[in-house]
A and B are shown apart, each in its own frame.
Chain A
């Protein structure tokens, strides 16, 4: 569903992403791990068509800038940016009308209820806390029921309830056949549900790890530290 081939993104001489190859199939949860500055957000923005790049990125076989690709793609940015003068409800209405969605109201209501935003429907974007803004951002991305969803650090700023609900939503979406690419620093938050992990370091994919690749008792966190620091966490004093 999400296919990245030989993708390179340079800022001047600096290669933020260097010859990246990545794919996420339908019903798969792919996790993007890496230290700060590894190039995760650059990769995610490039997949969503927000940055120029060299190489090829397709969504369900469509080049990522096409209308067909955009129609089936959902994006939760790293920093939730809402329109300060629109209410929470109007954010959903804007997405619904811009995406030409039909009978969206009930789905919208259900999303707002799920993220405890139903009593904030008339609040303006600027009146919401960062965590609330993040929840609205998630609702906007999920409303069109995309087949592929990209989330950049979606759990940052959420309260415990929000984290629990989002994790449940992610698991449900995966079960329904949605392809998910999620970048996070909170390794333990995806420990239960991940299918494939791409560990990035210095702009490159340093390791592709499938759940089946791990030995019994081995944790994703150990694999991460082995790749990024050359040792597992158990070895650290």
Chain B
């Protein structure tokens, strides 16, 4: 036991000491903690108003769907490789050591809980949205974080158990799938009945969320009901549902520990897969498709183009091979579906399209990096192709430009129809969103050119985000001021000014990042491995 406590304590101590040698990392942590502290202090001096807030049942719905996502991931992981609760160094050093396997399991679970806590940090930054949306304070945010941590913790153990029970046993895998569907069948059926009864989506959803069925749905229901009950002051139900989560977690751990002390083999595949993925990232393989086990059928082959245009045609071939929709994959579908669903809530709300535009632009700040153009920078090919640096950058980003344009036409088009917005407003939103993506690409290259990519990925993202805010600010202020000065077509003028600013700023960023391929160190993903 002493060795495991030593490992936990010494690892934590070394992580803290490392901050002394890495001021950038220390600065990031200080800013994160200051941000959380600031939000907390702000919440103390801000009076929460229930007026104009959404009913808290919708918070329950959001939490339910959010945790449901983790339920699906946990079951999929369990049926594939199991969840990762150990590192490769644990496998190499601890598993072969004369320490009880049950104690090692506890050690893994403690470390996993720490990771769940760190992953939940982003929830603390949702304080403002929760306050504005539901009229709740910082205490409610902490409860959401607690519910999230409990649910994710239980799901990670569940994933491990599923793998341990069903690995290599197709019948058991089928049974797990059937059980998973059976657990959610009652609430799906209930929602269906409500939809038929009310003929309206929102009342049907509201009735479903208010029903006991939603609260008693495993994990997603328990966590969402526990959080919302405690926020509403219903301590009995709150403790009941949180207690259920804790109890199920403890029972799952006990079952694994006592029924299968020789679980090493069960966690090995997941640990090795995660290790290989990290090593691949550090070696420059940042395409997620590389670690996917999905079977890919090679039908059409060949790459078009000549010179720099070959990069674009290569991207087309890769994208269409990775999924049938080509450039528009699962993320595009989720974006359009999410926008469609959200636009139902925004029907009749003044400025609904602008709210959607704002949300999608925030998301795009972090989604733009998923394009193949920016990923090319992590591999050597683009640097060595004997063509102009500028042309290589343009052709390598054409794929994401097409993707964004079609995504925005679909998302704003459908949302505009649902909300009954005028065509000019929808068109203006599409232009602003598409040009914003163009600007984000420019800022990405400029931040790489400026830093030379000789910094950690975290700090690079931080600098990029700050640059986005600073560069967008003059455009936003001009758009708001000019837009508010003119009656009637003020919104159109404002969006026009913003689009023009985005275009000019993007061209400026691309001009300033000229020769970026010659002035940066080929970026490397530092994974700590």
Give A contacts to B, CB under 8 Å: 11, 45, 48-52, 65, 67-68, 70-71, 73, 75, 77, 79, 81, 83-87, 89-90, 93-95, 97-100, 122, 124-126
Whether the Cβ atoms of B384 and A70 lie closer than 8 Å is yes
Closest to B519 in A: A52
Q: Is B197 an interface residue (CB 8 A)?
A: no
- Complex interface: chain A residues within 8 A of B386 (CB): 67-68, 70-71, 99
Given contact pairs A49-B383, A90-B302, A97-B303, A85 touches B454 in the complex (Cβ within 8 A): no
Chain A residues lying within 8 Å of B380, measured Cβ to Cβ, are 48, 50, 75, 77, 81
Interface centre among A45, A87, A126, by most chain B C-beta atoms within 10 angstroms, is: A126
Evaluate contact between B385 and A85: CB separation under 8 angstroms.
no
Q: For B129, list chain A residues within 8 Å (CB).
A: none
6 A-B pairs besides A75-B384, A85-B322, A98-B387 with CB distance below 8 A are A45-B522, A48-B380, A67-B386, A85-B289, A85-B318, A122-B301
Identity of the chain B residue whose Cβ is nearest the Cβ of A64 in the assembled complex:
B518
Kindly list chain A residues whose C-beta atoms are within 8 Å of the C-beta of B93. none
- Chain B contacts for A77, CB-based, 8 A: 284, 380
- Verify if B257 is at the interface (C-beta below 8 Å from A): no
Contact A97 B301 (CB under 8 A): no
Q: Which residue of B lies closest to A93 (CB)?
A: B303
User: Which residues from A are CB-within-8-Å of B311?
Assistant: 98
B518: contacting residue among A49, A79, A81, A89, CB under 8 A: A49
Contact status B387-A67, CB under 8 Å: yes
Q: What is the minimal beta-carbon distance from B27 to any residue of chain A, in angstroms?
A: 16
Majority SS at the chain B contact face: loop
Task: Report the bound CA distance from A89 to B224 in whole Å.
Answer: 51
Those of B306-349 within 8 Å (CB) of chain A: 306-308, 310-311, 314, 317-319, 321-322
B5 at the A interface (CB under 8 A): no
Q: Does B500 contact A (CB under 8 A)?
A: no
Chain B residues, CB < 8 A from A11: 454
Across the interface, which residues of B come within 8 angstroms of A81, CB to CB? 283-285, 379-380
**Residue B108 at the chain A interface, CB threshold 8 Å:** no
Q: How far is the CA of A99 from the CA of B386 in the complex (A)?
A: 6
Pair A126/B384 contact, Cβ less than 8 Å? no
Chain A residues near B319 (CB-CB < 8 A): 85
Is B484 close to A, CB under 8 A?
Answer: no
C-alpha gap A218/B520 in the complex (Å):
43
Inter-chain contact B310/A94, CB cutoff 8 Å? yes
The answer for the CA separation of A94 and B311 in the assembled complex, in Å, is: 8
A84-B290, A85-B289 in contact; A94/B518 too (CB < 8 A)? no
B→A interface (CB under 8 Å): 283-285, 287, 289-292, 296, 298, 301-308, 310-311, 314, 317-319, 321-322, 379-381, 383-388, 452, 454, 518-522
Partner of B321, one of A52, A65, A85: A85
Whether the Cβ atoms of B307 and A48 lie closer than 8 Å is no
Q: Is the CB of B383 within 8 A of A83?
A: no
A-side contacts of B314, CB under 8 Å: 83, 86, 90, 94
Assuming the contacts A51-B521, A83-B314, A85-B322, asked whether A97 and B384 have C-beta atoms less than 8 A apart, the reply is: no
The answer to whether A89 and B301 touch (CB under 8 A), given A75-B384, A79-B284, A124-B296, is yes
Query: What is the CA–CA distance of A12 and B522 in the complex, to the nearest angstrom?
Result: 16
CA distance A90 to B381 in the complex (A): 14
Chain B nearest CB, measured from A172 CB (Å) = 22
**If the complex has contacts A81-B283, A83-B287, A122-B301, are A52 and B521 also in contact, measured as CB distance less than 8 A?**
yes
Which chain A residue has the least Cβ–Cβ distance from B378?
Answer: A81
Assess A85 versus B522: contact at CB under 8 Å? Given A70-B386, A98-B385: no
Q: Report how far A51 CA is from B66 CA in the complex, Å.
A: 42
**Residues of chain B lying within 8 A (CB to CB) of residue A65:** 518
Cβ B289 vs Cβ A84 within 8 A: yes
Q: Measured between C-beta atoms, what is the minimum distance from A92 to chain B in Å?
A: 10
When the two chains form their complex, are residues A85 and B317 in contact, meaning their CB atoms are under 8 A apart? yes
A52 and B384 in contact, given A83-B318, A93-B303, A98-B307 (Cβ under 8 angstroms): no
The 10 A-B residue pairs whose C-beta atoms are closest, nearest first, are: A79-B283, A70-B386, A84-B290, A71-B386, A85-B318, A97-B310, A50-B522, A65-B518, A81-B284, A84-B289
In the bound assembly, the distance between CA atoms of A73 and B380 in angstroms comes to 13
Tell me if B290 and A52 are in contact (CB < 8 A).
no
B450 to chain A, nearest CB (A): 13
What are 7 sample pairs from A and B whose C-beta atoms fall under 8 A apart? A81-B284, A89-B301, A94-B303, A98-B310, A98-B311, A99-B385, A100-B307
Residue of A nearest to B453 (CB): A52
In Å, the complex CA distance between A83 and B396 comes to 14
Q: Chain A nearest CB: distance from B373 CB in Å?
A: 14
A188 to B314, CA, bound (A): 40
CB distance from B151 to the nearest CB of A (A): 33
Residue of A52, A67, A90 touching B452 (CB-CB under 8 A): A52
Minimum distance in angstroms from B171 CB to a CB of chain A: 29
A100 cross-chain contacts in B, Cβ below 8 A: 306-307
Complex Cα gap A49–B296 (Å): 34
Q: Is the CB of A50 within 8 A of B310?
A: no
For the complex, give the distance between the alpha carbons of A86 and B290 in Å.
11
Q: Are B298 and A52 in contact (CB under 8 A)?
A: no
A64 to B317 Cα, complex, angstroms:
31
